[in-house]
Amino acid sequence: MIEVGDIAPDFALPSDRGEVVRLSDLKGKRVILYFYPKDDTSGCTKEACGFRDAMPALEARNAVVLGVSPDPVRSHERFREKYDLNFPLLADEDHQVAQAYGAWGPKKMYGREYEGILRSTFVIGEDGRIETAYRKVRPAEHADEVLAGLDG
């Protein structure tokens, strides 16, 4: 499992904006990399809209936001358009990036066990190292929590 101080695993994923986003292209910026289970669901929408609304404050702190889920690019496009999201959503359909960050694993819902996204966020510093790792995220307050952590 990835820990604070580790070098963040590099990746290249397709985005809802028709481009491939590479972590290595963002050196010199703080990257808020958040993993969420599914587009346009209640918790995921609250979390995404929280980051959308916090973007001016995040950008003022030299930070960019990248949302990652196993949903395909077309689903991300619809989600972005519906909620006017102002940051890229990345398609990790084979969940290789989620696995590299420890954001993929066993879950339980309604007594059923399955593998899926473990809602988590990683703040990657300008030097490419993990500054903060948030696990078991509460979607509604998460953007504010991340913003406060950038100042702290």
pLDDT for res 98: 97
Residue 47 has pLDDT above 70, yes or no: yes
* Separation between Cα atoms, residue 79 and residue 16, nearest integer Å: 9
For the chain, percent of residues with pLDDT exceeding 70: 99
Residue 152 confidence class, pLDDT cut points 50, 70, 90: low
* Separation between Cα atoms, residue 18 and residue 21, nearest integer Å: 9
pLDDT for res 70: 97
| pTM (2 d.p.) | 0.95
49 labelled catalytic: no
Which amino acid would we find at residue 47? E
Residue 60 has pLDDT above 70, yes or no: yes
Give the H/E segment covering residue 65. strand 63-69
Q: Are strands 130-135 and 112-117 parallel, antiparallel or unpaired?
A: unpaired
Residue 79 has pLDDT above 80, yes or no: yes
Encoded tokens for 118: 């473990």
In CATH, the architecture of 12-151 is: 3-Layer(aba) Sandwich (3.40)
Residue 81 confidence class, pLDDT cut points 50, 70, 90: very high
Domain positions in the chain are: 12-151
92-122: per-residue pLDDT in tens?
A: 999 999 999 999 998 887 888 889 999 999 9
* Separation between Cα atoms, residue 49 and residue 46, nearest integer Å: 5
- The HSE-up count of residue 134 (CA atoms within 13 Å, CB side) is 24
Average pLDDT of the segment spanning 68-83: 97
Output DSSP code: residue 45: H
* Separation between Cα atoms, residue 120 and residue 92, nearest integer Å: 14
Residue 18 confidence class, pLDDT cut points 50, 70, 90: very high
Output DSSP code: residue 61: T
Residues 6+ apart with CB under 8 A from 129: 5, 6, 7, 8
Q: Which of 8, 31, 33, 44 is catalytic?
A: 44
